[in-house]
Amino acid sequence: MDLLVKLYALPQGPEPLPPGITLRRALAPEAAVILPWIAARFGEGWRAEASAALSACPTRIHIAHNDAGTLLGFACHDVTARGLFGPTGVDEQARGTGLGKALLLASLRAMAADGYAYAVIGGAGPVEFYQKAVGAVPIEGSEPGLYRGMLRATV
């Protein structure tokens, strides 16, 4: 199911990050690090969307990493469709630290800065997380949504 978020009603202020964590827009030259990391943890489909996010200028992907340069999570926007948030993912070891919410808000705030009033979270997985974090509401009749009929790899 898709969810709708009011970008003009996002929580104010930056989200607190765990010590030693940096959250920022990715740089296109970081693709060689970011894309294999995403593919290994979340699959080739998300890698392809992140690749498109890295090709925009400015990029449409935020990343989080620790001081040692280890990638911990990412969030994309305006990739498969304008106004669409996602994909997003956090390494299993970093889940539960607030990093997912911080990446979500960084990406949604970038969309608001680009002039969007609303964002769609496509095919939202943890619906309750998005409802609590940003007040997202379900879009009735949105299944299967934008990805209906999409060609998928068979291995």
Structural domain count, the chain: 1
Domain assignment present for residue 153? The answer is: no
Confidence at 51, pLDDT banded by 50, 70, 90: very high
Domain assignment present for residue 73? The answer is: yes
Can you give the pTM of this predicted structure?
0.93
Domain assignment present for residue 13? The answer is: yes
What CATH number corresponds to the domain at position 96? 3.40.630.30
Domain assignment present for residue 155? The answer is: no
Domain assignment present for residue 47? The answer is: yes
Domain assignment present for residue 151? The answer is: no
Domain assignment present for residue 136? The answer is: yes
- What whole-number percentage of the chain has pLDDT above 70? 99
What is the reported pLDDT for 25?
98
State the average pLDDT for the chain.
Answer: 94
pLDDT digits (tens, 9 = 90+) for 1-32: 999 999 999 998 877 898 999 999 999 999 99
Range of the domain at 89: 3-146
Neighbouring residues of 4: CB distance < 8 A, sequence distance ≥ 6: 118, 119, 120, 121, 136, 137, 138, 139
